[in-house]
């Protein structure tokens, strides 16, 4: 018997951000999905990199009281000799008891289940703001296009049925068949073009950019509305050479984006890494200064991409 699409469950949602104004047109509700095929050194959402659930712990604020260990029914949390909690992910069932009973509130399960029905209900609470501002819903991450496509398709169809616009924020590193399936239900793609040099791309993102650029060409040929987004880092791509290569690529393949956004590097997510037992590798990265950013934006404007701006 075929499963009811509205009962399909997605286990990889980390956050639902209300009143977002940087993830597409108007006022939007942005859904962050967990899991990404890239490993960008400056990623400001490290909790969305891995595909599985995780336990996020603010060790600096942990008092070492031992409550988490005492309430864990599976022995997944144990206290060390120096009175610090140690977590065994293999034994953890993510029952939530350690999170709920922690007096200091330093433990948080990252990744929550939603059915299509549940998520639609949550998103439609903001319908009035969508209608008044020309906004809608944005799927972000992580990489939403690497999620369970049955769920993503069911959500996209449901939002279209309810007359809510859908924007997809993507790195583009997935088989194009996934884009083909969802294209009829998506109003806008926010498409990351991080750096043109394939070796630099591999160095900072973990893979080259061949598939990403091929998918961008095909999306444009298939009539998608696309915003090009370029996270701009002085040491990686924040230079005239890379931006001119990007412009040349867009022109060569007759890609006419609805806009180009140059997004200055920031390290606001760096504090999350330690909570996830991850290393932040972007400590030596910087944003170009104001004058440099304006000069880079001017390259696009002078090349005919007049809807270019700094920021989201």
pLDDT at 36: 97
Torsion of CA 222, 190, 294, 221, to 10 degrees: -10
pLDDT at 2: 43
Average pLDDT of each block of 10 consecutive residues along the chain (312 residues)?
A: 62 92 92 97 95 94 95 95 92 95 96 94 96 96 95 96 97 98 98 98 97 98 98 97 98 98 94 94 95 98 97 88
- Decide: 198 and 208 in contact? Cβ < 8 Å: yes
pLDDT at 5: 60
Q: CA triplet 210, 30, 195: central angle to 5 degrees?
A: 25
- Tokens 């083909």 belong to which residue? 180
pLDDT at 212: 98
Q: Which two tokens stand for residue 185?
A: 């239900």
Cα separation of 203 and 82, whole Å?
38
DSSP code per residue over the chain: -PPPGGG-EEEEEEEEEEEESSSSSSSEEEEEES--S---TT-S-GGGTSSS-EEEE-TTT-----HHHHH-TTS-EEE-TTS-EEE-TTT----SHHHHH-TT--EEEE-EEEEHHHHHHHHGGGHHHHHHHT-EEEEESS-GGGS-HHHHHHHHHHHHHTT-EEEEEE---S-HHHHHHHGGG-SEEEEE---S-HHHHHHHHSS-SHHHHHHHHHHHHTT--EEEEEEE-TTTT-SHHHHHHHHHHHHHTT---SEEEEEE---TTTTHHHHTT-----TT-----HHHHHHHHHHHHHTT--SEEE--
Cα separation of 96 and 68, whole Å?
10
């Amino acid at each position: 018997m075929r499963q009811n699409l509205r009962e399909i469950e997605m286990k990889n949602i980390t956050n639902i951000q209300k009143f977002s104004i940087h993830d597409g047109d108007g006022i939007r509700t942005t859904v962050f999905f967990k899991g990404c095929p890239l490993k960008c050194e400056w990623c400001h959402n490290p909790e969305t990199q891995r595909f599985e659930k995780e336990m996020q712990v603010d060790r600096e604020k942990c008092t070492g009281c031992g409550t988490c260990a005492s309430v864990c029914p599976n022995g997944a949390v144990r206290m060390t000799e120096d009175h610090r909690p140690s977590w065994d992910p293999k034994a953890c069932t993510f029952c939530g008891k350690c999170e709920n009973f922690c007096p200091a509130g330093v433990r948080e399960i990252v990744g929550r289940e939603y059915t299509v029905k549940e998520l639609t209900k949550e998103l439609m609470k903001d319908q009035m703001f969508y209608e008044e501002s020309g906004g809608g819903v944005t799927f972000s991450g992580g990489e939403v296009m690497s999620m369970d496509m049955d769920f993503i398709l069911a959500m996209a169809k449901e939002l279209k049925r309810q007359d809510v616009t859908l924007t997809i924020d993507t790195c583009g590193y997935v088989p194009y068949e996934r884009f083909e399936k969802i294209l009829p239900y998506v109003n806008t793609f926010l498409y990351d073009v991080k750096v043109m040099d394939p070796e630099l791309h591999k160095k900072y993102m973990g893979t080259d950019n061949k598939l990403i650029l091929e998918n961008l060409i095909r999306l444009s040929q298939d009539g998608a509305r696309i915003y090009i987004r370029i996270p701009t880092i002085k040491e990686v791509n924040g230079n005239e050479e890379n931006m001119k290569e990007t412009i040349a690529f867009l022109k060569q393949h007759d890609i006419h984006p609805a806009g180009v956004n140059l997004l200055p590097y920031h390290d606001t997510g760096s504090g999350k890494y330690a909570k996830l037992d991850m290393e932040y590798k972007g400590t030596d990265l910087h944003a170009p200064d104001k004058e440099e950013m304006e000069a880079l934006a001017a390259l696009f404007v002078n090349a005919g991409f007049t809807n270019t701006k700094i920021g989201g």
